[in-house]
Amino acid sequence: MCDPTIMAVASMASGLADFAGQQDAQAKQKQSYDEWFATQEKNRAEQNAKQEASRKLAEQAQQQGLAGVSADAQKLAQGKEQDRLTSYLDERTPLTADTSSPTPGADTSIADKYLLSGQGRSGDPTFTSDLAAKIHGASREAKDRIAALAGASSYGGSLNGLDNTVADRFQKSGLAIDKFNERRRGDLAVYGTQQAVNPIQWSYTPGLKIG
């Protein structure tokens, strides 16, 4: 038969061990909550910074897109395209000699090449003078038509015309905005997963040692 005194001492020792175990479990649980809370606060701050950075980039892309299609930007793009088209068409139009002050005989080489193949250069001076004036007028009209065509085309669907440049700038701006908004959605998905993480749970079971 066991000594009652020994049993009492053993019971007391067991009770003290259980109390110590429970205290240890509570301390570890508090530490777990504190660490979890600190991690959640860190995640929240990082997510806010990421969201703000992506929002600013999306807003910047929007502003750049609007600036790219502003009145001044369109005027500049249209002018450059008109100059490009004028040069391109001028190079491919044979009768575009600059005859600001027609001189008799000055354009007979053009006439010989395009209009009067085989006609001699030593003909009637009146004919030569009249021919030079007509060539001058035709050249000026050709230049005017080229300028008008280049101007009209620069507003339309030519390579760098406004139809294409405005659409291109809107498209690039839209793609950039979508990219940054998609980044924001991805970051929020990660943050949602982080929020779903629970702190470690501690409990004390009599007879088991914690730690």
Residue 124 maps to a domain: yes
Residue 153 maps to a domain: yes
Range(s) of the domain holding residue 83: 18-195
Residue 93 maps to a domain: yes
Q: How confident is the model at residue 126 (pLDDT cuts 50, 70, 90)?
A: low
Residue 200 maps to a domain: no
How far CA 180 is from CA of 59, 66, 104, 124, in Å, comes to 9, 17, 68, 76
Residue 44 maps to a domain: yes
Domains: count for the chain: 1
Residue 110 maps to a domain: yes
Note the pLDDT tens digit of each residue in 98-121.
Answer: 545 545 444 444 544 545 544 545
Q: How confident is the model at residue 209 (pLDDT cuts 50, 70, 90)?
A: low
Residue 130 maps to a domain: yes
Least confident of 42-51, 74-83, 90-99: 90-99
> Would you say residue 124 has pLDDT above 80?
no
> Would you say residue 38 has pLDDT above 50?
yes
Residue 206 maps to a domain: no
How far CA 111 is from CA of 99, 126, 140, 164, in Å, comes to 13, 15, 15, 40
Give yes or no for a contact between 99 and 143, defined as CB atoms under 8 angstroms apart: no
